[in-house]
Amino acid sequence: MNHQRKILVTGGAGFIGSHTITALVSAGFTPIIADDFRNADSSVPSRIEKIIGHLPEFIMIDVCDKEALKQVFEQHAFAGIIHFAAYKAVGESVEFPLKYYRNNLLGLINTLELAVQFKVPNFVFSSSCTVYGEPGELKEVTEDLPKGLAASPYGNTKIIGEEILKDVHHSNSGLNIISLRYFNPIGAHPSGLIGEFPIGKPNNLLPMVTGTAIGKYDQLTVFGNDYPTSDGTCVRDYIHVMDLATAHVKALEFLESGKSSFETINVGTGAGTTILKVIQVFEAISEVKLNWKFGPKRPGDVVEIFAKADKANHLLNWYPKYTLEDSVQHAWNWEKKLQND
Ligand code: UD1
């Protein structure tokens, strides 16, 4: 039966995509990966091969090239699609908004058009808690919270992407859809064989923490120290990337069960953690004294946000397996391994 559950994974060579490939294979799916590697490392396929024991099918295409993507649909009968392929750097999106709108929206539209044309039943979309904007008083956000104003063009592509999905679903397209709103994915595969490959200086906290500790960067700047939180630093919901990967598998299985044809689901642990707490956990685990200082607030940062994850728990029967300590340990293992590669 397994060979009949081919899943198209666009952007499957990226950070979340590559981890999801391993989870899909463990669950008996056959991922077919469409990625042009513009934001992924060329070593990812062989690294995945080491984890799963065989090389999955990688197709080097840009999903914005509809003709090339169509050929992939002609060659395979997909049981589902996970659509990761998109740009994700907030700051860059402010500088180059059209680059973001073109890539993220055109890639989505092409994939959806072909999904409908080729009658693929199930579709999972890579969304983000960025769609909530600044949640205000309510820190623990539920899926029914009205979407906020995105702080960036990147965020807008996720908001518009979700609207497109809703309209496609309403049009009786026959496509069952789940949009997963990720909180802050961190960590790496427990094997240490895959992890995040930031291109240039990372924007995200964890790669900056581990990269500073290993000596790639001189110092970590903690953006802001007088936020109205327990220690003055921002609060986020950090989730292990393998737990996030598993959520995609559960989402596909849920759609296959036929229990619902459209859902939007938060994927977070439900716990908020300050930046200083992340640093404290890192220092305890790594036994490295991190070189960090406070700096000015980063424009557009949300003060505090974490997931109400009940929907993922109850609907998908998804629960995170890893703790913050596990996540930080795996991120650190990965950083050290990369240095020696
Ligand atoms: C960011 C994006 C979000 C995106 C997510 C993807 C912004 C405003 N938001 O979320 O849209 O979906 O990444 O992973 O960029 N921090 C420091 N020093 C650093 C780096 C980060 O203090 O060098 C702080 C930030 O100010 C923030 C926290 O660490 O309070 C987490 O930052 P980050 O990892 O960039 O994630 P988000 O800002 O939550």
Other C-beta atoms lying within 10 Å of the C-beta of residue 10: 27
**Four-point Cα dihedral 165, 168, 170, 171, nearest 10:** 180
CA dist 124 → 68, 69, 96, 176, 289 (Å): 21, 17, 27, 9, 41
Query: From the alpha carbon of 91, which atom of ligand 1 is closest?
Result: 15
- pLDDT > 70? residue 108: yes
The band of 148, judged by pLDDT with boundaries at 50, 70 and 90, is confident
Q: What is the mean pLDDT of residues 112-119?
A: 97
**Element holding 99 (H helix, E strand):** helix 97-100
Whole-number Å distance, alpha carbon 207 to ligand 1 midpoint, is 11
Asked if 237 contacts 272 with a C-beta cutoff of 8 angstroms, the reply is: yes
Check residues 72 and 89 and name the one with the higher pLDDT. 72
Distance from C-alpha of 179 to C-alpha of 218, rounded to nearest angstrom: 38
Q: What is the mean pLDDT of residues 275-302?
A: 96
* Alpha-helical regions (H) of 215-288: 241-257, 275-286
Q: Write down the pLDDT at residue 67.
A: 98
Check residues 170 and 140 and name the one with the higher pLDDT. 170
Q: Write down the pLDDT at residue 3.
A: 52
CA dist 122 → 39, 59, 147, 169, 173 (Å): 26, 20, 24, 11, 11
What contacts 236, CB < 8 A, 6 or more positions away? 183, 184, 205, 272, 273, 275, 305, 306
Tokens standing for 216? 């790639």
Q: What is the mean pLDDT of residues 13-23?
A: 98
What share of the chain in percent tops pLDDT 90? 88
Q: For a pocket test of ligand 1, which of 298, 302, 324, 327 has the largest count of ligand atoms closer than 8 A to its C-beta?
A: 298
- pLDDT > 80? residue 137: no
Whole-number Å distance, alpha carbon 204 to ligand 1 midpoint, is 5
19 touches ligand 1 (CB under 6 Å): no
Mean residue pLDDT across the chain: 95
130 touches ligand 1 (CB under 6 Å): yes
Tokens standing for 89? 């750097």
Tokens standing for 266? 């938060």
Tokens standing for 254? 């849920």
Measured in whole angstroms, the distance separating CA 202 from the mean position of its chain's CA atoms is: 15
- Report the nearest-CA residue for atom 36 of ligand 1: 204
Nearest CA among 41, 88, 324 for reference residue 202? 88
Nearest CA among 24, 272, 315, 273 for reference residue 180? 315
221 touches ligand 1 (CB under 6 Å): yes
Q: What is the mean pLDDT of residues 102-120?
A: 98
The band of 316, judged by pLDDT with boundaries at 50, 70 and 90, is very high
Tokens standing for 256? 């296959």
Q: Please report the beta strands in the chain, taking only residues with DSSP state E, as ranges in sequence order.
A: 6-10, 30-34, 57-59, 78-83, 122-128, 140-141, 176-182, 184-186, 220-223, 235-236, 238-240, 262-267, 273-274, 292-295, 306-307
Q: What is the mean pLDDT of residues 21-43?
A: 97
Whole-number Å distance, alpha carbon 78 to ligand 1 midpoint, is 35
Q: Which of these is catalytic: 154, 227, 238, 322? A: 154
The band of 2, judged by pLDDT with boundaries at 50, 70 and 90, is very low
Q: For a pocket test of ligand 1, which of 127, 149, 203, 274 has the largest count of ligand atoms closer than 8 A to its C-beta?
A: 203
157 touches ligand 1 (CB under 6 Å): no
Query: From the alpha carbon of 297, which atom of ligand 1 is closest?
Result: 26
- 67, amino acid identity: E
Whole-number Å distance, alpha carbon 301 to ligand 1 midpoint, is 7
Q: Write down the pLDDT at residue 1.
A: 44
Query: From the alpha carbon of 130, which atom of ligand 1 is closest?
Result: 11
Q: What is the mean pLDDT of residues 159-170?
A: 96
154 carries an active-site annotation: yes
- pLDDT per residue over 258-271, tens digit each? 999 999 999 999 99
Q: What is the mean pLDDT of residues 177-188?
A: 98
Q: What is the mean pLDDT of residues 40-52?
A: 96
- pLDDT > 80? residue 98: yes
pTM (predicted TM-score) = 0.96
Please tell me whether residue 111 adopts helix, strand or coil conformation. Answer: helix
Q: What is the mean pLDDT of residues 131-152?
A: 82
220 touches ligand 1 (CB under 6 Å): yes
Query: From the alpha carbon of 275, which atom of ligand 1 is closest?
Result: 29
